[in-house]
Amino acid sequence: MRILIVGAGALGGYVGARLLAAHKDVTFLVRPTHAEQLVEKGLQLNSPLGSYSAPAVRFVTADTIHHIYDLVIVACKTYSLTAATLSLGPALGADTVILPLLNGVAHLNHISRIHGVHRLIGGQCMLAATRTPDGTIRHLNNAHSLRLGELDGSLSPRVMALGSLFSDAGFPRTVSQQIVLEMWEKFAFISSALCMTVLTRVGQDRPAPKNEQIADALLNECRAVAASLGITLRSIALSRARTILEAPEATLFNLLFDDLLRYPETEADTLLEDLARHAQGGAVTAPNISQAQALLRHYRGMDVPRTAQLQDATAAMEQP
């Protein structure tokens, strides 16, 4: 099976490294600047589950795709989705499957409008990883989870074949018959974490406060938004999310806050915008989500040192 992975960041690099370690045929679709880094350093994964090093990997850029691929794994950030999706045409044959592993759910409609819903399989990945400035993929704990499934819940031959592919690469129990629900449950978790990061301004020099009340409020708002679309988030999934959000360690919030400080655009912007849009469309009252989105917008527009922006944005919002 010929595999194209869109993106070689923390997610794409991790999944690609696991597939390469299992001797699968993998090519990365990357931006020219990232291509230079791959030429210089190859692909490096540091992980407690087993590290991997490839001094040379195959890659293409948007203007150098010359082969048809059996599987396209979309692992870019949500804000890069439009450009990435539009570049895929030359990589797609009649039977090419597209498996997005992005956070949220908006990408399903986006990809299906451009390339057809018949190509699309739902996917969800739970992974704590980051890409260091030198390009190394650093896995931050001993857990990883990848789930995939047909959007209608059927156990098709192509889903079962992909389940075997990822099982060979060390991912346990990959096939799901309720992948849309699982994607929404992760959407609720990561959106709540993003909102908490913005609302509490948790950074590496600012230990996480007790977050029980705000975690509950945000998860309840996400549950109401999902319910307005006919999706019932499971109590066990919300309980797991609450446990992580209420943990005394600030690891997750530090990662999210670091992204806000380092990059002019992050997936927080697109995820919260999509969640707020669903809330508005479903006539759901979601004051905490709305406040987090407003704070983030205010933060993005301020021309002051970024380390002070979230705190200043909060003060501005609290003025009568």
Together in a domain, 168 and 186: no
Together in a domain, 208 and 137: no
Together in a domain, 215 and 289: yes
CA distance 93 to 74: 16
Q: Which of 154, 177, 200 is the last residue of a domain?
A: 177
Q: Which of 145, 177, 209 is the last residue of a domain?
A: 177
Together in a domain, 169 and 192: no
Together in a domain, 143 and 57: yes
Write the CB contacts of 252 (distance below 8 Å, at least 6 apart in sequence): 128, 193, 244
Q: Which of 150, 177, 204 is the last residue of a domain?
A: 177
Across all residues in the chain, what is the average pLDDT?
87
Read off the pLDDT of residues 68-111 as tens digits, 9 standing for 90 and up: 999 999 999 888 888 899 999 999 999 999 999 999 999 999 99
Together in a domain, 210 and 287: yes
Residue with the larger pLDDT of the pair 179 and 78: 179
Number of domains in the chain: 2
The β-bridge partners of 3 are 26, 71
CATH code, 311: 1.10.1040.10
The whole-number pLDDT of residue 7 equals 93
The whole-number pLDDT of residue 171 equals 95
pTM of the entire predicted model: 0.87
Together in a domain, 137 and 260: no
Together in a domain, 111 and 129: yes
Together in a domain, 149 and 82: yes
Task: With a cut of 90, say whether residue 249 has pLDDT above it.
Answer: no
Together in a domain, 265 and 189: yes
Together in a domain, 110 and 189: no
> What is each CA distance from 215 to 220, 257, 259, in whole angstroms?
8, 17, 21
CB of 137 within 8 A of CB of 301? no
Residues of the domain holding 200: 182-318
Together in a domain, 95 and 238: no
Lowest mean pLDDT among 155-164, 277-286, 295-304: 295-304
The whole-number pLDDT of residue 253 equals 67
CA distance 314 to 199: 8
The whole-number pLDDT of residue 46 equals 96
